[in-house]
Amino acid sequence: MNAKTIALRLGALALIAAGFALIARAQDGLPLPSPVEKELAARATDVTEVTLDKNMLGFAAKFLNDKDEDEAGARKLISGLQGIYVREYEFDKEGQYSMDDVAKLRAYFETPEWSPIVHEHERKSGETTDVLIKLVNGETRGMFVLAAEPKELTIVLILGPIHPEDLSKLGGLGGLGALGNLPGVHQAPQDGKDKTGKPGDKKGDDE
Amino acid sequence: MHDYEDQFEQDLQQALERRPAPPGLKAKIMAARWQRRKDARHSHSLLWMRLAASLLIAALIGGGVRWDYERIQQRRRGEEARQQVLTALRITGHALNLVQERLAAHNSGNGD
């Protein structure tokens, strides 16, 4: 066995190991960053990237303060989640991203198991809003939000059971309670009635 | 002169004359020898004990410092994770508010 053969075998082993690492990551449920994100990050003036898998969420939950109402609510909210994937790109001027970039992002995250509940596009401003939810046996098991403003692009992917009644307690965290008002997001039945809307029944599209 | 030499020889003979050892001398010598060995062994083991104790104290101090460092690091990582969760939820809230506003604007636009 010559040195070249050994090098080739080691290379193959490294590739296999990398493959296993990718599979392990994919099994976490959280996606790998989309290729568009790198380009967006390069153009953005301010980038916020948060990727927390189930383990990290569990770890973070230990450090959330139960005495603080918002943090206690956040703790309850993240306790059953599989992962959180958030990207926020802020640009110094308009036109730093194209509709093609937005379409690529949507296509990257939009898999068949996701149901679109909101898709809105304002032709004048070019602002786009997409909300998709993942329903399993009638329960919300994931939420994807893509919000494009002239100088800001936000991607939010939350995997796991989402209870709007928990979110409504998070008043101090930027109005997370708004999720409960979105169409298609299932709330816990109250007084024996399910007060949720059906996915897509308020789908807005200005196009 | 001759008498003096005789006397000297006699004294020398007397001095060199083989005498039996006093009773218990051997036992005393053996006891002293055993004691010396015991003392040497004791001081040797004392040295090792001191060394072991020093090592143990050093290990305890090192372990304590390490534990404290790990605890601080763990807390730092936990605080970072906590901040990340809160940041993620704030951004999510902001995005959802935006969705709400747009839906509201859309609905009011339809109403008109």
User: pLDDT of B73-106, one tens digit each?
Assistant: 999 999 999 999 999 988 988 888 888 888 787 7
| A179 in B contact zone (CB under 8 Å) | yes
Query: What pTM did the predictor assign?
Result: 0.66
Report the chain A residue with the minimal C-alpha distance to residue B76.
Answer: A63
Q: Please report how the helices A54-61 and B25-111 are oriented relative to each other, as an axis angle in degrees rounded to 10.
A: 100
Is residue A69 domain-resident?
A: yes
Is residue A110 domain-resident?
A: yes
Is residue A19 domain-resident?
A: no
Q: What is the pLDDT of residue A48?
A: 94
Q: What is the pLDDT of residue A49?
A: 93
Q: What is the pLDDT of residue A165?
A: 67
Which of chain B's residues have a Cβ under 8 Å away from the Cβ of A64?
A: 82, 85
SS3 A131: strand
pLDDT one digit per residue (tens) for chain A, 207 residues: 677 777 777 777 666 665 555 544 444 578 888 888 998 999 999 999 999 999 999 999 999 988 888 888 888 888 889 999 999 999 998 888 888 888 888 888 888 888 888 888 887 777 888 988 888 888 888 889 999 998 999 999 999 988 766 666 555 454 555 555 555 554 433 333 333 333 333 344 443
How many CA atoms lie less than 13 Å away from B57 in the CB half-sphere?
6
| B60 in A contact zone (CB under 8 Å) | no
Q: What is the pLDDT of residue B34?
A: 94
Indicate the number of domains in chain A.
1
Q: What is the pLDDT of residue A18?
A: 59
Average pLDDT on B48-72 reads 95
Which of chain B's residues have a Cβ under 8 Å away from the Cβ of A142?
A: none
Quote the percentage of chain B above a pLDDT of 90: 54
Task: Answer yes or no: do B94 and A84 touch at CB < 8 A.
Answer: no
Is residue A21 domain-resident?
A: no
Q: Which residue has the tokens 């001191």?
A: B50
Task: Answer yes or no: do A71 and B92 touch at CB < 8 A.
Answer: no
| Residue in A60, A178, A204 closest to B81 by CB | A60
Structural domain for A119, as ranges: 34-181
How many CA atoms lie less than 13 Å away from A120 in the CB half-sphere?
25
Q: Which two tokens stand for residue B28?
A: 């005393």
- pLDDT band for B62, please (50, 70, 90 cuts): very high
CA dist., res. A127 & res. A120, Å (int): 8
User: pLDDT of B98-110, one tens digit each?
Assistant: 888 887 877 776 6
ipTM above 0.90, yes or no: no
Task: Answer yes or no: do B96 and A182 touch at CB < 8 A.
Answer: yes
Is residue A156 domain-resident?
A: yes
Q: What is the pLDDT of residue A4?
A: 74
Is residue A202 domain-resident?
A: no
Q: Number of residue pairs across A and B with CB atoms under 8 Å?
A: 114
Is residue A8 domain-resident?
A: no
| B72 in A contact zone (CB under 8 Å) | no
Task: Answer yes or no: do B99 and A118 touch at CB < 8 A.
Answer: yes
Strand partners, A89: A47, A153
Give chain B's largest Cα–Cα span.
Answer: 158
Q: Are A171 and A70 in contact (CB under 8 A)?
A: yes
Average pLDDT on B35-60 reads 93
Task: Answer yes or no: do B85 and A206 touch at CB < 8 A.
Answer: no
Is residue A146 domain-resident?
A: yes
CA dist., res. B87 & res. B23, Å (int): 95
| Residue in B88, B100, B106 closest to A178 by CB | B100
Q: What is the pLDDT of residue A124?
A: 77
Which residues 94-133 in chain A show a CB within 8 A of chain B? 118, 120, 122, 127, 129, 131
For chain B, state the CA radius of gyration: 47
